[in-house]
Amino acid sequence: MATDGIKIIDGDLARDTYEQIMDLYDSDASTETIKKEIPFIKEDYGKETDFYHEIFVTSYALAFWEIGEMTEDIIEEVKRVIELKAGVKVWTEECDINEGKKRQKELDKLIKKISQPNLKIRKRKKYRLIKNLYFQPDDLLTFQLSDQNYYAIICAKITQHRGQCTYDLVATTYKGKNKPTVEDLKSCFIAGQKIGSGYDWKTTLLQQPNVDEIWEYVNRDNFFFGLSYSLVTHRDMISFKDKFEIVGKLKIKESFKRDAGYGYESSFDRFEKIFIDLDNHITIFREQKYPVSLLCEF
């Protein structure tokens, strides 16, 4: 088990819980909808249930207090999990007694805060959506590097989250003296990764339809599949969008667009470094190649 910082919102689970609630809140979702989408009690954290339950409950409580929807049952559950001292024990054992005390202090501050009415309820935030996009989902893009070869990437999706817009690009292995066509891509590959699943194979397949096609390809079953993305923000894309040319449409199957990893690329130089030796990049990041014909719709 790995601990993050001792604050209430200081690790992946805490941030995910808090931000999911705030995203729904900022989307004008009602309290009832938020509770339905993110139920308060969760019991699927595995062996370290008490520790992760504490992180979930406390981050959930902080979010609900900030939006002015604190309830007595949330307060009582926070008190209960604090009494268990699961987090304090973990921070003491994995770090030292001082970190355990610091965690306890954060928990004490939280219970004091949420036990009092919030007199300054957080307002719903409005984020501007970028409408004049340079590229669209499923655009097949080509670009030329200093070796005079053409390369190809797929704009798998556009992500707009909290005011930031990114073009989520996926590398292909195309390399040639001519600009690629969709037909050319049929013999190429896309970089992806296996993601461990803690579920039985039926549940994994239910959560990611058609992943069994990839299982069959690699002769191994029961894992999720995800893509490795190069993310370029709309702001950064302004300076080098003209380096890319749309040469067609190529759609990656929706169920295969799960994130396995990503990196932010802020300049065209980054594409030069990645694609000039793509095989080495794939090896370094422990990715594998999967046929375009398997992952895409034709």
Judge whether 24 and 16 are in contact, CB under 8 Å: no
**pLDDT category, 168, cuts 50, 70, 90?**
very high
**pLDDT category, 47, cuts 50, 70, 90?**
very low
Q: Which amino acid is at 206?
A: L
Q: Which residue has the higher pLDDT, 86 or 156?
A: 156
Sequence-distant (≥ 6) Cβ neighbours of residue 16 within 8 angstroms: none
What does pTM read for this prediction?
Answer: 0.69
Residue 151's DSSP bridge partners are 143, 175
Q: Which of 113, 99, 114 shows the shortest CA–CA distance to 5?
A: 99
The arithmetic mean of pLDDT across residues 118-146, rounded, is: 93
Q: What is the pLDDT of residues 197-215, one digit of tens each?
A: 888 899 999 999 999 999 9
Q: Helix 49-66 vs helix 72-84: angle between axes, to the nearest 10 degrees? A: 150
pLDDT at 291 over 60: yes
Sequence-distant (≥ 6) Cβ neighbours of residue 140 within 8 angstroms: 152, 153, 154, 155, 180, 182, 185, 246, 247, 248, 249, 250
Residue 165's DSSP bridge partners are 160
Mean confidence (pLDDT) of the chain: 92
* Cα dist from 79 to 11, 127, 153, 192, 197, whole Å: 21, 35, 51, 44, 33
pLDDT at 246 over 90: yes
Q: What is the pLDDT of residues 68-127, one digit of tens each?
A: 999 999 999 999 999 999 889 988 888 889 888 999 999 999 999 999 999 999 999 888
The arithmetic mean of pLDDT across residues 185-192, rounded, is: 96
Q: Which residue has the higher pLDDT, 43 or 265?
A: 265
Domain ranges of the chain: 12-114, 139-297
Which pLDDT belongs to residue 202? 92
Q: How is residue 238 annotated by DSSP? A: T
Which pLDDT belongs to residue 162? 83
Q: Which of 43, 36, 46, 47 shows the shortest CA–CA distance to 57?
A: 43
Which pLDDT belongs to residue 28? 86
> The tokens 């009092």 sit on which residue?
116
Which pLDDT belongs to residue 48? 59
Cβ atoms within 10 Å, residue 258: 16
Which pLDDT belongs to residue 44? 53
Between CA 258 and CA 142 the distance in angstroms is: 23
> The tokens 């001519």 sit on which residue?
178
Which pLDDT belongs to residue 104? 93
